[in-house]
Amino acid sequence: MAMPIEVETMSHVWPKPPFTVDTLFELPDTGLRYEVLEGALVVVPPPTPEHNLVHDRLRYLFINRIPADAEAITTCAVRLPNGDGPVPDLLVTTANPVEYPKGVPAELTHTVVEVVSPSNASDDRTKKTALYARAGIPCYWRVELRSWREHFGPVPAVVVRLLGDDGEWRTTTHPAGERHLLPVAVDRLGTILPVELDPADLVGKRR
């Protein structure tokens, strides 16, 4: 005779606001991913296989291009000066990950990459653009898998926001279908290495 299975329920103790990057490491394990943006605790939608494929291929590309004292890390929290903790899909840092188990400081984060999901597109296009800029992170890649209001051309497209030597931010859009030389910041000196990429290669079967 089958015996009924008793399920033990546990009450989770949730942190209370104000939320900071440290909150991310105090949350109970519920299977959900979170980040802290402008003091708010935000649920990150589960990535699709296509989403994961994009940042995996970019990481492989970066690892084969950046210097040995830099690293490319996926889904790692960034410790911003205002206390926020965004979790980009990919970042380039000169921090030793072992020394920073609770997020990489912004000053040691040189390039961040966000692969845009429909449910959090406004955060990636607007909120995070401002947060990363205020934190002094000099290079921000935004990978768009679908057309958006400012771009109805070929996709995927990579939108790059780069801080120039003159202190001005410049934004460029690089659509699928042709090869581009895209900048990757790799250290605190602002060293830029070009990475050659056709955004079309980020999706679909390997060519």
* Structural domain includes residue 121: yes
Give residue 167's pLDDT.
Answer: 93
User: DSSP string covering 14-82, please?
Assistant: ---SSP-GGGGGTS---S-EEEEETTEEEEEPPPPHHHHHHHHHHHHHHHTTS-TT-EEEES--EE-TT
> Cα–chain-centroid distance for residue 168?
22
Cross-strand bridge partners of residue 183: 194
d(Cα 73, Cα 14) in Å, to the nearest integer? 28
pLDDT of residue 12: 66
pLDDT confidence of residue 168: 96
Kindly state whether residue 198 falls inside one of the protein's structural domains: yes
> Is 123 within a domain?
yes
Examine residue 26 and state whether it is found in any structural domain, yes or no.
no
Residue 3 in domain: no
Q: Is residue 18 part of a domain?
A: no
Secondary structure tally for the chain: helices H, strands E? 3, 12
Task: Judge whether 35 and 25 are in contact, CB under 8 Å.
Answer: no
Residue 135's domain comprises 47-202
| CB of 124 closer than 8 Å to CB of 87 | no
CATH number at residue 73: 3.90.1570.10
Q: Quick check: helix, strand or coil at residue 101?
A: coil
* pLDDT of res. 31: 85
Per-residue pLDDT tens listing for the chain (207 residues): 333 333 333 456 778 889 999 999 999 888 889 999 999 999 998 999 999 999 999 999 999 999 999 999 999 999 999 999 999 999 999 999 999 999 999 999 999 999 999 988 999 999 999 999 999 999 999 999 999 998 989 999 999 999 999 999 999 999 999 999 999 999 999 999 999 999 999 999 987
**Number of structural domains found in the chain:** 1
Confirm whether 1 is domain-assigned. Answer: no
Residue 24 located in a structural domain: no
- Res 4: pLDDT: 32
